[in-house]
Amino acid sequence: MKTTSLLTLGLLSLARALPSVKPDTASAASIATANGTRFTIDGQTAYFAGTNSYWIGFLTNNADVDLVLDHISQSGLKILRVWGFNDVKSTPGGSTVWFQQLSASGSTINTGANGLQRLDYVVQSAEKRNVKLIINFVNFWDDYGGMAAYVSAFGGSKEGWFTNSKAQAQYRKYIQAVVSRYVSSAAVFAWELANEPRCKGCNTNVIYNWAADTSAYIKTLDPKHMITLGDEGFGVPGASSYPYGTSEGVDFVKNLKVKDLDFGVFHMYPGSWGVDNSFGPGWIQAHAAACKAANKPCMLEEYGTGSNHCSVEKPWQQASLALATTGMAADLFWQWGDNLSSGRSSDDGNTIYYGSSDATCLITDHVNAAKTAG
């Protein structure tokens, strides 16, 4: 999802400085794995529900992080996808949170109290609550820096980012810095190469080759945790409308063949893509079929609508649950909402707030339904 940067999150009063922390070493049994077309978490092979919070790693109040993860855990959601990136072109002042400053003359990875130590706290808090994290390394969109920040530093274009040697060298340095911090943590569900990578008009080999090379590199750093691409799922058989095509340089079926990508993900925003909300079940079914053929799990990683959340999104959840034994393994709605010490968290229209009637429908009822799926 394309998000808008919230300066207020970076300007909250900074909590006590955290030391650079390596989370507790996890046993092999506690690491989430792919098991055919299902996921196994803590020894349980099942269908799992989850959500997204791009902003949780940018919070500067530890109590807010704990509050959010308490609510997510208590709601029965098992997987949380977070932004593991926050790129800037120049170092911001004050307590603003940033993770990496990109520059052709020398980039800086911020391991300080307003840098990756904020992500450290999210990982530690998730460990305590047994919530599993998908941690993403870069954004296609310009929010929180994204590929555009790399282009500003190293030249080229966003389409050329995937083959830009200088940009890729720094991207790998950043991956190494993040993976090394949490390589032994059971809180990591999976590493994710990018949020919604696209290469408009490119041959699909561009993203395929980049995904193959990058995921193989990550496996040299961490052979235990899963890896996924983070794409929207474009390029899948089933219909002729825009999302099913490969005009964005993404071929979902082809990318499932990348050896070191452990599962497939896809997103769903009919309103943004110019299709009707009834598009949802067919889109889910098409991806489930592709994942079943590849014998890899499928995750509906992002989905949302700007209004009528329960009536629109509940049929999508039901469609995914109906395919729990034939390709679908999990779904993560966009996005989690909560009441923080600074007020309400980001509301982009898709947000489902903790304690709301929408949450009863799309979280409580869905989690209960998932317990009997498959």
Which residues have a catalytic role annotated? Answer: 196, 302
60: left (phi over 0), alpha (psi -120 to 50) or beta: alpha
**Hey, which residues does 135 pair with through a beta bridge?**
82, 191
Cα angle 305, 262, 53; round to 5: 35
- State in Å, rounded, how far the first CA of the chain is from the last one: 29
Residue type at position 310:
C
DSSP assignments along 324-346, one per residue: TTTTEEEEEES-EE-EETTEE--
Number of neighbouring beta carbons within 10 Å of residue 200: 10
Please tell me the distance from the alpha carbon of residue 1 to that of residue 6, in angstroms, as a whole number.
15
For 17, the enclosing helix (H) or strand (E) is none
Residue with tokens 């954004």: 139
Residue type at position 338:
D
Please tell me the distance from the alpha carbon of residue 239 to that of residue 245, in angstroms, as a whole number.
9
274: left (phi over 0), alpha (psi -120 to 50) or beta: left
Is residue 130 packed enough to be buried (19+ CB in 10 Å), middle (13-18) or exposed (0-12)? middle
Q: If we measure between CA atoms, which residue out of 262, 290, 260, 323 comes closest to residue 31?
A: 262
Please tell me the distance from the alpha carbon of residue 128 to that of residue 72, in angstroms, as a whole number.
12
Q: If we measure between CA atoms, which residue out of 149, 195, 191, 188 comes closest to residue 170?
A: 149
Q: If we measure between CA atoms, which residue out of 180, 21, 19, 181 comes closest to residue 112?
A: 19
Residue with tokens 């995914």: 320
Please tell me the distance from the alpha carbon of residue 326 to that of residue 232, in angstroms, as a whole number.
20
